[in-house]
Amino acid sequence: MFYITSRSVLMQINFDMYKPSFVELWVSSIYQQHDLLHPCDLSISNIAEIFNVNVFSHDGPVFAEWEEGLYSFIFLNTKKSEPDNRADFFHELCHVLRHVGCQKKLPQLFRELQENQAQHFQLVAAMPIYLFKQVSPSLYYEHYINQLSYTFQLPKKLVKKRLHHILNNIQSNCFWDQINHIS
């Protein structure tokens, strides 16, 4: 079981209670098939090579352009930090791998669905649970966030979101486990 007694203290996390999504299982399987066994293996160049995506840097906005079976490009901004570019890369990678159609021509609700899917993908592709577990939880929340941010080279905001995603997943599974034991 995990405990957060205040915003600053994180005592322990029971990763055994975490249940990965289908997308996370899919991504993790591909990563492991390509021997990505440590957080440092998740470089943009390694991931781009696995999925046959060309990555370019330019001074403009971040975006992806692709035609299934023909080409895949992700354009990152040269003025952004490495952690921000990594976060953008994993977000855009979802669009390349899992979406079809030009977002500008899609209905608003469909665009929102794709953006929500890309945000989830970004979390699990940038920090899959099998690699996340390699960073031992710290007694202090902020220290743990800093460790994870440094290890995965991602913005703290994204790391916090992923940690909360994991903790909520575990808490939900613990709750249902307790309910099942009562019935």
- Give strand ranges (E) for 43-167: 54-58, 63-67, 71-77
**Strand duo 71-77 + 63-67: pairing:** antiparallel
CA atoms lying within 13 Å on the CB side of residue 183: 6
The length of the chain in residues reads 183
Q: Is there a contact between 55 and 48 (Cβ–Cβ < 8 Å)?
A: yes
Query: Could you report the per-residue pLDDT of 18-52, keeping only the tens digit for each?
Result: 999 999 999 999 999 999 999 999 999 999 999 99
β-bridge mates for residue 66, sequence order: 72
Q: What φ, ψ does residue 79 adopt, rounded to 5°? A: -85, -10
CB 2 within 8 A of CB 170: yes
pLDDT at 102 over 70: no
Report which of residues 182 and 140 the model is more confident about: 140
* 107 pLDDT tier (thresholds 50, 70, 90): low
pTM of the model: 0.88
